[in-house]
Structure 1
Amino acid sequence: MDFNDTNMTDLHNTTNDNGGYNPDANIHFTGASAVAIALCLFGIVGNVIVFWFLAFRIKRNKYTVYIMNLAIADFIFLLFTALIMMLYINTLIVENSNFTGRNSFYIFLEIFYDTAQYSGMFFLTAISMERCLSVMFPMWYHCNRPKNLSSIVCLVLWFVGCSESLIENLACPPEDFAAQTNVCTGVELMTFTIGVGICLPLMVLCSFALLIRVGRIFQRQYPPKLYIIIIVAVIIFILSVVPFNFIWFLMYFQLLKLDVQYVSIYYASVFSTSLNSTINPYIYFIVGRQWREKSHHSIHDALQRAFKDDEEIQDAKEKSDKTNSSSCRIKSTDEEKRVN
């Protein structure tokens, strides 16, 4: 929910009658749009790298499937955010910025923009829930989890995210949104309930459970990096995305009066949500990196360590123990031969 049609009208006013804006507002908003595009490009590079390594270079597990789809969603979101910012710059610097099919093109951009945003939120919720279930009910989870659950869940979540976006953008066109029709009110209530009423509590509860688990493990050893990645990603999502969902919801129902223009709040939300999608891949790199070791394949190694499953860690420990025990047997046999 982002008041985009209102923002386009406000931006158009900056180039015409300066209604309520500083005379240099078009320059300021153009600069803000350019900075947002640069931020999006920085995030696009990071998400492309993550997708490449997870898809083609690293052994896939149930968690990397979620992260790979999250990287795709973040990539699409940042790409279409950059395109929308380019459209805004065109509106700000070109006198006759209207062109044939402009509104249809804008709705097209919004559909992909919202689909990626909603799907990314769903993927983060899904990986939080699955990691939490594996910690709280390990035996049941290990015995009853379907092998292809991650892929099936991701397909369903893409469908749900796309459906929510289509409903929001097609059932509630800009003129109905401005008039606050019953359909648009229902759509806004639906999106707010799904995002803040369902996904947010699930993410908070699952992250809190993982945080308790990390505290217990940390007393004995360093916790798996995947725990830290999920907790940090959820915290950043809550701090950067959720507040603006509340603000737009309250402003739609005129429950919040702010002495600022809508377009200013919109740009703040663009920077905040873009930062959330941009920073995710760099969280993986930082958490997965071994700071005391230097490697020629640091990105590959960092991602491999970051998303290593508990079962893989346990298998590695068992192999290591077997290797150590066999080497000990060989040494003891050699010592016996020498004595004899």
Structure 2
Amino acid sequence: MDSSFPHLVVDLRELNESYFMESSSCDIVSLAMSLLSIIIAFIGLAENVIVLWLLGFHMHRNAFSVYILNLAGANFLFLCPYIVFSLVTITVNFHSINSHIILFLNTVFTLAYLAGMSMITAISVEYWLSVIWSNWYHGRRPKHTSAFICTLLWAVSLLLSLPHEIICGQLYHIYNWDMCWKCKLIIVVWLLIEFVVLSQSNQAMMFRIFCGSQQTPMTRLFVTIVLTALVVLICGFPFGIYIYFLYWTTDVYFIMPCNSFQETILLLSAVNSCANPIICLLVGSIKHCQFQCGTLRLILQRAIQDTPEEEGEEVEEDVEDEESTTL
């Protein structure tokens, strides 16, 4: 009898045990990342509700607060189906949900994502225009431009999301793959255009403020926009490229250990949707390079303040006076 046979059995047993331990550890990592994404999503949901409540009912709106209000609304709508899908993925199978409900949630999911990317791009471009053509912007800009642009961006996002979800979802068996691929390609091109515009406008703003011949004072609103744009560029756009372009490419799953590429992208998207309120909280809490407390309304007012810090103190005093009179 071949004496190597027992050694072969032992080797196979050790290989199976190691594979089982590796797969178990990968399952634990995947579950932990999914739970972390859900926790962050719930936190972001509460944060965006607070921003919607303050900007919608308790603060005077300006050109940029309208964009932030719509951005908070888009993040809120994005996180609602995000949480539903995440919980369903962990607990039960998607086939247990009605197809019409899935179509509705997917449409809201894509609509909110595209609208959020569009809002931060629009606010970045508008701030850049306000710095470049300051006289025209403050003197001749139409009053309801921000509301009109936000409405237009919501409409464009709906026109991109609804056909995509109908053709690639409900009617996938009727239409061929080529039709679905064209819808995805249009969305990817739109996202790439926004990526280029957002990155270039932020570079132009920072060059104008830090390196330009005409020194432009840095405001809290500038810091808020730049930080939010950086988070969107790092955490927001990769999610769209993955969902609408790389989802069917199996090679991307092997980039990271335990095939956790998808969980990482989903985690980044949750971080992106709750980042703006946190950035507003941090920027609004810093005064003269020190953290200072205050009401959420005052902190948010500071974060979207488009005047230098010394001039903005008068605005803060007015806000505090209004709060004291209401109390």
Q: Secondary structure at the match of 1:34?
A: helix
Q: Alignment partner for residue 210 of structure 1, among 205, 208, 221?
A: 205
Q: Is 1:238 matched up with 2:239?
A: no
**Equivalent residue, structure 1, for 2:117:** 121
Q: Is 1:201 matched up with 2:202?
A: no
TM-score by length of 1: 0.74
The aligned length equals 291
Q: Kindly tell me: are residues 34 and 316 of structure 1, through their superposed partners in 2, closer, same or farther at Cα, counting changes over 3 Å? A: closer
**What is the distance in 1 between the residues matched to 2:167 and 2:271?**
29
**What is the distance in 2 between the residues matched to 1:46 and 1:29?**
26
Q: Is 1:181 matched up with 2:177?
A: yes
Moved more, 45-54 or 24-33: 24-33
**Equivalent residue, structure 1, for 2:274:** 278
Alignment deviations for residues 177-224 of structure 1 (CA, whole Å, 9 cap, x no partner) = 9x971111111110010001x11111111111111233159x979610
Contact 1:44-1:278 within 8 A present in 2 as well: yes
Q: Alignment partner for residue 134 of structure 1, among 130, 133, 137?
A: 130
TM-superposed CA distance for 1:29, in Å, is 4.2
Amino acid at match of 2:305: K
Q: Is 1:72 matched up with 2:73?
A: yes
TM-superposed CA distance for 1:65, in Å, is 0.5
Alignment deviations for residues 219-271 of structure 1 (CA, whole Å, 9 cap, x no partner) = 97961011111111111111112334445566357595653699843222111
**What is the distance in 2 between the residues matched to 1:207 and 1:68?**
20
Q: Kindly tell me: are residues 229 and 36 of structure 1, through their superposed partners in 2, closer, same or farther at Cα, counting changes over 3 Å? A: same
Q: Kindly tell me: are residues 100 and 151 of structure 1, through their superposed partners in 2, closer, same or farther at Cα, counting changes over 3 Å? A: closer
Contact 1:228-1:287 within 8 A present in 2 as well: yes
Q: Is 1:308 matched up with 2:318?
A: no
Gaps of 5+ in 2: 1-21, 318-327
Q: Is 1:259 matched up with 2:254?
A: yes
Q: Kindly tell me: are residues 53 and 67 of structure 1, through their superposed partners in 2, closer, same or farther at Cα, counting changes over 3 Å? A: same
Q: Secondary structure at the match of 1:118?
A: helix
Q: Is 1:167 matched up with 2:168?
A: no
Q: Secondary structure at the match of 1:146?
A: coil
* Identity across the alignment (%): 26
| 1:290-329 correspondence to structure 2 within 5 Å | 290-291=286-287, 292=290, 294-295=292-293, 297-310=294-307
Q: Kindly tell me: are residues 207 and 182 of structure 1, through their superposed partners in 2, closer, same or farther at Cα, counting changes over 3 Å? A: same
Amino acid at match of 1:236: V
Q: Kindly tell me: are residues 201 and 126 of structure 1, through their superposed partners in 2, closer, same or farther at Cα, counting changes over 3 Å? A: same
TM-superposed CA distance for 1:59, in Å, is 1.7
TM-superposed CA distance for 1:308, in Å, is 1.9
Q: Secondary structure at the match of 2:286?
A: coil
Q: Kindly tell me: are residues 89 and 64 of structure 1, through their superposed partners in 2, closer, same or farther at Cα, counting changes over 3 Å? A: same
Contact 1:33-1:85 within 8 A present in 2 as well: yes
Q: Alignment partner for residue 156 of structure 1, among 152, 158, 168?
A: 152
**What is the distance in 2 between the residues matched to 1:288 and 1:315?**
11
TM-superposed CA distance for 1:91, in Å, is 2.2
TM-superposed CA distance for 1:99, in Å, is 3.0
Amino acid at match of 1:83: V
TM-superposed CA distance for 1:173, in Å, is 2.0
RMSD: 3.5
Gaps of 5+ in 1: 1-20, 321-340
**What is the distance in 1 between the residues matched to 2:247 and 2:80?**
27
TM-superposed CA distance for 1:294, in Å, is 4.2
Q: Kindly tell me: are residues 151 and 113 of structure 1, through their superposed partners in 2, closer, same or farther at Cα, counting changes over 3 Å? A: same
